[in-house]
């Protein structure tokens, strides 16, 4: 059985019975099924209307099992625990931060995270789409993309991956074939082990520390390069400025 839910809604909100061997790719979205008793999954569009079958929208959980909010964080509570726009009566629902759709049987299909939509240097991209594209490479076991603020003006997209068969060049070539140039990550970092936090999820804090260490090591390499003459020194300075290093 595949379960879906959040801590704020007391963990489990839906279930889906897996009655046959799963087929497909790691990049495929997966069905989380029907809500449990006393619970409803509301997928709302930008007009706060219930989505039609196949229409992608934001996923909300309606249940009496919701928590009261976040401890000493009224702003986040107000953002996540909102009045149900489908009724005038007092009815608080929880915004999961996921987006998804209903299939023809009204099962819920989770298609990604709303926080996967980010803006990099003025261009909006969908990290979920990029990760799913990279996972279409059968030799890639895991992928996680993060944005990193390199300086006040520059944000880069960094791709962590785990694979015993492909390297950065293979993944970059695959990305260039299926993604726009601006969607291709700036950096690719191979992992032997995936850092997991106490909640059993990929730990973004550890990954960002790896990014910092990697960029620092790159800076050291550049600093170690000795210019043979004044012209080379100027060229090194120009490239350091262009690359923000």
Per-residue model confidence as pLDDT tens for the chain (245 residues): 899 999 999 889 999 998 887 666 655 677 999 999 999 999 999 999 999 999 999 999 999 999 999 999 999 999 999 999 999 999 999 999 999 999 999 999 998 888 788 888 778 898 988 999 999 998 999 999 999 988 777 889 999 999 999 999 999 999 999 999 999 999 999 999 999 988 788 999 999 999 999 988 876 554 545 666 778 778 877 877 776 65
Measured between alpha carbons, how far is 175 from 169 in angstroms, rounded to an integer?
10
What pLDDT score was predicted for residue 39?
Answer: 96
Nearest of 67, 208, 82 to residue 146 by alpha carbon: 208
pTM exceeding the 0.75 threshold for the entire prediction: no
Structure tokens at 200: 């059993």
What pLDDT score was predicted for residue 104?
Answer: 94
What pLDDT score was predicted for residue 119?
Answer: 82
What pLDDT score was predicted for residue 219?
Answer: 65
What DSSP element (H or E) covers 234? helix 230-242
What pLDDT score was predicted for residue 90?
Answer: 95
Structure tokens at 153: 């003006």
Helix, strand, coil proportions of the chain in percent (round to 5)? 30, 30, 40
CB contact at 8 A, 126 and 116: yes
What pLDDT score was predicted for residue 225?
Answer: 54
Nearest of 36, 201, 23 to residue 108 by alpha carbon: 36
């Amino acid at each position: 059985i595949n379960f879906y839910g959040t801590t704020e809604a007391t963990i489990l909100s839906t279930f889906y019975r897996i009655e046959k061997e799963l087929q497909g790719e790691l990049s495929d979205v997966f069905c989380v099924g029907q809500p449990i008793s006393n619970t409803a999954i509301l997928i709302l569009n930008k007009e706060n209307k219930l989505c039609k079958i196949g229409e992608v929208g934001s996923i909300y959980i309606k249940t009496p099992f919701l928590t009261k909010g976040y401890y000493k964080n009224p702003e986040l509570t107000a953002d996540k625990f909102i009045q149900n726009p489908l009724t005038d009566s007092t009815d608080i629902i929880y915004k999961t931060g996921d987006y998804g759709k209903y299939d023809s049987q009204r099962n819920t299909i989770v298609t990604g995270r709303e926080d996967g939509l980010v803006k990099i240097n003025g261009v909006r991209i969908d990290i979920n789409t990029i990760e799913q594209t990279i996972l279409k490479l059968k030799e890639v076991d895991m992928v996680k993309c993060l944005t990193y603020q390199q300086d006040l003006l520059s944000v880069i997209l960094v791709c962590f991956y785990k694979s015993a068969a492909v390297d950065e060049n293979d993944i970059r070539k695959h990305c260039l074939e299926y993604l726009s140039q601006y969607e291709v990550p700036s950096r690719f970092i191979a992992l032997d082990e995936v850092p997991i936090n106490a909640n059993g999820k990929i730990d973004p804090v550890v990954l960002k520390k790896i990014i910092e260490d990697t960029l620092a090591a790159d800076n050291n390499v550049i600093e170690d390069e000795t210019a043979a003459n004044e012209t080379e020194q100027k060229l090194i300075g120009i490239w350091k400025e262009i690359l923000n290093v």
